[in-house]
Amino acid sequence: MKVFEIVSYLQSIAPESFQESYDNAGLIVGNLQTEVTKVLVSLDTTEKVVEDAIEKGCNVIISHHPIIFKGIKKFDAQYYVDKAIIKAIKNDIAIYAIHTNLDNVYTHGVSTALAEILQLKDIEILSPHESTIFEQKPVGAGAIGYLAEPTDSLVFLKELKSIFQLQCIKHTSIIKSLIKKVAVCGGSGSFLISDAIAAGADILITADIKYHEFFDANGQIILADIGHYESEKHVIQLIKNILSNHFQDLHILSTEVITNPVSYF
């Protein structure tokens, strides 16, 4: 099997045309004609992840976040991006990123999977793209659905903390006693606050909410920031499942490297 076969299949799930304008999904490093030995799946591609791939005998890394977002004019071996790229090239390791294009699909999408972890019912895209002409695929940001039964808000937050193994949750005032309708967005989802309110969600679970954006709750919704890594670490298993369900003979591993750059004291 060659790299292009894996890339072609992933693009059939989440076409690169679905990515946001700022994104850099796709083949970051490598040759599409390279024969694949093993695949390592990660959330990020850091130098330690590349080293993990080398140790495991993997010559392809599939990550959610692209290691390169902007153009590189020179390589500085002291910078974490450059170090990862240099090590990957030296060791003939291909790096492929499937980022906001995977965020924006419904089937196998990042937010859909997040909603499924919470066992939501009747899951839909929270903010559908106006033009969904891409092979009839539902496309858009975030997801929304219902709990099986209305749940006490504090009980729900405790369950949320347990499910995602969180050390803490940043949230707005508990302005609703019960939670029934839940909106979610893996990664940075504060741009969906107004959509979640308009959809009648009792809570929006996402990450990277800035101080002033918490005010946008405006007494109409509970905002819960669970952390970027925490809201997307399930994507490793998601990508692994996508690949293993299609390529039965492909050896696919998950990285053991915790790439979360945020620590809590």
pLDDT tens per residue, range 165-174: 999 999 999 9
Q: What is the average per-residue pLDDT within 135-149?
A: 90
Average pLDDT, the chain: 95
Residue 72: pLDDT band with limits 50, 70, 90: confident
Residue pair 211/19 in contact by the 8 Å Cβ criterion: no
On the question of pLDDT at 136 being above 90, the answer is no
> For position 136, which CATH number holds?
3.40.1390.30
The pLDDT score that the predictor gives to residue 215 is 98
Classify residue 194: in a domain, yes or no: yes
Do 29 and 66 belong together in one domain?
Answer: yes
Do 74 and 115 belong together in one domain?
Answer: no
Residue pair 41/13 in contact by the 8 Å Cβ criterion: no
The pLDDT score that the predictor gives to residue 256 is 94
CA dist., res. 258 & res. 75, Å (int): 25
CA dist., res. 75 & res. 56, Å (int): 26
CB atoms within 10 A of CB 253: 16
CB atoms within 10 A of CB 162: 9
Global confidence as pTM: 0.94
The pLDDT score that the predictor gives to residue 134 is 52
The pLDDT score that the predictor gives to residue 135 is 54
Q: What is the average per-residue pLDDT within 135-141?
A: 81
What 3-state class would DSSP assign to 122? strand
On the question of pLDDT at 131 being above 70, the answer is no
Do 187 and 212 belong together in one domain?
Answer: yes
On the question of pLDDT at 133 being above 80, the answer is no
On the question of pLDDT at 254 being above 60, the answer is yes
Residue type at position 2: K
Classify residue 251: in a domain, yes or no: no
CA dist., res. 104 & res. 213, Å (int): 22
Q: For a pLDDT cut of 90, what percent of the chain falls above it? A: 92
The pLDDT score that the predictor gives to residue 119 is 98
Residue pair 9/250 in contact by the 8 Å Cβ criterion: no
Which residue did the predictor score with more confidence, 136 or 263? 263
Q: Which residues of 226-244 are buried (b: 16+ CB within 10 A; e: fewer)?
A: bbbbbbbbbbbebbbebbe
The pLDDT score that the predictor gives to residue 80 is 92
Do 133 and 60 belong together in one domain?
Answer: no
Do 86 and 142 belong together in one domain?
Answer: no
Task: State the DSSP code for 14.
Answer: S
Do 64 and 115 belong together in one domain?
Answer: no
Residue pair 122/143 in contact by the 8 Å Cβ criterion: no
Classify residue 264: in a domain, yes or no: no
Q: What is the average per-residue pLDDT within 63-74?
A: 90
Domain that holds residue 188: 104-229
The pLDDT score that the predictor gives to residue 95 is 98
Do 48 and 132 belong together in one domain?
Answer: no
Classify residue 212: in a domain, yes or no: yes
Which residue did the predictor score with more confidence, 178 or 71? 178
In this predicted model, what pLDDT tens digit does every residue of 207-244 receive, in sequence order? 999 999 999 999 999 999 999 999 999 999 999 999 99
Do 95 and 114 belong together in one domain?
Answer: no
What 3-state class would DSSP assign to 15? coil
Classify residue 242: in a domain, yes or no: no
Q: What is the average per-residue pLDDT within 98-112?
A: 97
Classify residue 143: in a domain, yes or no: yes
Residue pair 251/22 in contact by the 8 Å Cβ criterion: no
Last residue within a domain, chosen from 102, 128, 151: 102
Residue 7: pLDDT band with limits 50, 70, 90: very high
Do 70 and 94 belong together in one domain?
Answer: yes
Residue 54: pLDDT band with limits 50, 70, 90: very high
Last residue within a domain, chosen from 102, 137, 156: 102
